[in-house]
Structure 1
Amino acid sequence: MADGKISENIEEYLEVLYRNGSNREQVSTTKLSDELGIAPGSVTQMLKKLENLGYIKYTPYKGASLTDDGMKIAQKITRKHRILEKFLRDILKVKEENIHSQACEMEHALSDEAERAICTMLHNPDLCPDNNVIPACDFDFNSCKECYSQTDFDKIINRKFNLLSVSELTSDIEGTISFIRGNDELLDEILNLNIRVGAHLKYEVNDNDGENHYLITVDDKKLDIPVEMANNIFIGI
């Protein structure tokens, strides 16, 4: 348990909810039961507990969706899991079939400081080995360049709202660009399109089911961006 306050069991539930409903879609009790390998009755009891804690909205016989508080926890633990998978494969050369289980064991104990160090070592990765988007960190930076410039971890503050990458958005979501991830080269490519922190972004349509390009509107200008950019441009939600 990374912060000493939230149980691993709760983190696992929120992680599954995020994996299946990052845009706050309702996830069925059956889906949760299947993925967690837990009886539906036990899942229902936990969902009621999570609702009382303020982490989810629960509708009997239908399912649950994340609240802002639940989303923050879910994104943090999902990020740690996926960045650990990347670290285990690319740096430690752990066998492919062991990566997921080992990341599951490690994610709950990984401190935010260690997570940041791994992210820096890996040069701010956007995808885990399964090609799922790694959520942005919740540090209050506009870009990775700002993160590099702050050498004292104790002076870093956390962002007060959640983020989603363009590649995670659905057609009815829009917001303000609040973080852009990547190295100097990628940041320059994005800025050359006049995509910047503070601009208003609206997701328009997904070309080829999101495999290659994303059509967005940024401050009333339509842009067709590649998936690499879409994975690294985040709006506040």
Structure 2
Amino acid sequence: MSEDKISENIEEYLEVLYRNGSNGEQVSTTKLSKDLGIAPGSVTQMLKKLENLGYINYTPYKGAILTDEGMKIAQKITRKHRILEKFLMDVLKIKEENIHEQACEMEHTLSDEAERALCTMLHNPDLCPEDNVIPACDFDFDSCKQCYSQKDFDQVINRKFNLLSVSELTSDSEGTVSFIRGNDELLDDIAALNIQVGNHLKYSFNEDSVDNSYSIMVEDKELNIPVEMANNIFIRI
């Protein structure tokens, strides 16, 4: 099933699943029912449909987990939603209490080209107004510098795997650094710590870490990085 044929209803389900279980956590039918405002029986029927489509793994009476394909779609629609929220608040100055609903209405029709333009105009934002991490784009780039220099996006290959930022990881998660987001200054600060695409990175929760920092191991070197870096360093799990 191609992404351009996915219904808004399916996108909404996948978006809620991502919001509550982006790192492989199982999301209960009760939680989905509450967040979506839909009766549990109807949620169960949709979860069975989503499993048949290959977007989730569903266990009756326990809940659902996104598959890699479901995660790909969920991240894309979540990215559009959160970038739109940032645009509505920072540029259009829409009242904070109204931006979520308006972003929900707009996200399903926002083209990939418009999303990319918004990202560039907003200088590659890492957080939405509610301080939730904006997922990385799905272009097969190492950093935003490559995006800036790209003239013909029709020639760009899309990434075949999903990413999570360091700040989205659970304790003892590990993977390969595959994308680093940010302006030249942030990219230079990250490079100065010898963190680069291709490094193996492991995150471990550390109670002794300084507030608003993340304790990571990069190629056997222990580092404490600030939250701004953690939001913008993405690893392939």
Identify the TM-score tier after normalising by the shorter chain.
Answer: over 0.9
2-structure distance, mates of 1:115, 1:144: 14
Aligned to 2:198: 198
Provide, for residues 91-119 of structure 1, a one-character-per-residue CA deviation record: whole Å limited to 9, x for no partner.
Answer: 11112121111100000011111100000
Task: Give the unaligned 5+ runs of structure 1.
Answer: none
Provide, for residues 23-68 of structure 1, a one-character-per-residue CA deviation record: whole Å limited to 9, x for no partner.
Answer: 0100000000000000000000000000000000000000000000
Q: Which amino acid is 1:177 matched to?
A: V
Question: What is the Cα deviation at residue 172 of structure 1?
Answer: 3.2
Q: Are 1:168 and 2:164 an aligned pair?
A: no
1:44 alignment partner, SS class: helix
Task: Give the unaligned 5+ runs of structure 2.
Answer: none
- Does the CA-based 8 Å contact 1:207-1:213 persist in structure 2? no
Provide, for residues 167-212 of structure 1, a one-character-per-residue CA deviation record: whole Å limited to 9, x for no partner.
Answer: 0001132100000000000000000000000000001115589960
C-alpha RMSD over aligned residues: 1.5
Aligned to 1:181: 181
2-structure distance, mates of 1:210, 1:33: 38
Query: Sequence identity of aligned pairs in percent?
Result: 82
- Does the CA-based 8 Å contact 2:55-2:69 persist in structure 1? yes
Aligned to 1:126: 126
TM-score by length of 1: 0.97
Aligned to 1:44: 44
Counterparts of 1:5-20 in structure 2 under 5 Å?
5-20=5-20
Q: How many residues align?
A: 236
1:205 alignment partner, SS class: coil
Aligned to 1:68: 68
1-structure distance, mates of 2:209, 2:37: 30
Question: What is the Cα deviation at residue 4 of structure 1?
Answer: 2.6
1-structure distance, mates of 2:172, 2:38: 33
Counterparts of 1:1-237 in structure 2 under 5 Å?
3-207=3-207, 212-237=212-237
1-structure distance, mates of 2:224, 2:53: 41
Per the alignment, do residues 110 and 3 of structure 1 end up closer, same or farther by CA in structure 2, a change over 3 Å counting? farther
Post-superposition, which runs of at least 4 consecutive aligned residues in structure 1 deviate over 4 A?
206-211
1-structure distance, mates of 2:88, 2:232: 22
Per the alignment, do residues 53 and 209 of structure 1 end up closer, same or farther by CA in structure 2, a change over 3 Å counting? farther
Q: Which amino acid is 1:155 matched to?
A: Q
- Does the CA-based 8 Å contact 2:3-2:73 persist in structure 1? no
Q: Which amino acid is 2:200 matched to?
A: H
- Does the CA-based 8 Å contact 1:89-1:96 persist in structure 2? yes
**204-213 vs 62-71, greater mean Cα deviation:** 204-213
